[in-house]
Amino acid sequence: MANHFSQLARKSKSNTFVEKVSKNQSDAKPHKKIYTLGSDVLRQNAKRISKVDNSIRNLAKEMLQSMYAAKGIGLAAPQIGINKDLLVIDVNFEDSSAEPLILINPEITDYGTTLNSYEEGCLSIPGVYLNVIRPSIVKLKFRDEMGRPRKMKADGLLARCIQHEMDHLNGVLFVDRVTSKEDLNKELIKEGFHEKDVIPIK
């Protein structure tokens, strides 16, 4: 019986996101093309993932590679043209020992009452950095890369990054939330983007 439990324990330990993705992708091109503002694919609602299998884990791996290569801290599947409820996040990308977050079918269950304004950027709108107001704390539920249900509470940069990436799952970009139209237009023009591609949040 003891041997049986030890076998189960070893199996459980190995049943994780086995292949660790190197954060040093400086010499690599993004594994997947990251679509930019103006692409229709960024405005579609993502679909829930019904089964978490190796294809989803491989997709998460490719997303992490793409995110690290582009020197980002978050990436949503729609940004690489894949219409699925999947996010990867690593706000500690400079720490090689810190594990990234893989969020499948994430749902925010509660928001904190405090709002903060903070400068955001996006791999889909490179070069544009603008202040966005968001709740400073969120609670959420999701499935991890093995399909296990999880819950977590996040604050600070992580909470902001989660909200930013979850917006992508609903076809929303951070520029849609910018309140200063003057600053927005100035930044967009500077980087060669167009105001017509912004859909302001009402």
Q: What domains, with CATH codes, occur in the chain?
A: 23-195 (3.90.45.10)
User: Which residues are known to be catalytic?
Assistant: 165
Distance CA 149, CA 127 (A): 36
Query: Residue 14: which pLDDT band, with cuts at 50, 70 and 90?
Result: very low
- Kindly state the average pLDDT of the residues 117-136: 97
Predicted local confidence at residue 29, as pLDDT = 60
Q: What is the pTM of this model?
A: 0.87
Distance CA 173, CA 198 (A): 8
Do the Cβ atoms of 93 and 23 come closer than 8 Å?
yes
Do the Cβ atoms of 163 and 72 come closer than 8 Å?
no
- Kindly state the average pLDDT of the residues 131-139: 98
Q: Is the pLDDT of residue 88 over 80?
A: yes
For 119-140, b/e burial (b = at least 16 CB within 10 A) is ebebbbbbebebebebbbbbeb
Span of 19-33, 161-175, 176-190 with lowest mean pLDDT: 19-33
Distance CA 8, CA 1 (A): 11
Q: Is the pLDDT of residue 24 over 90?
A: no
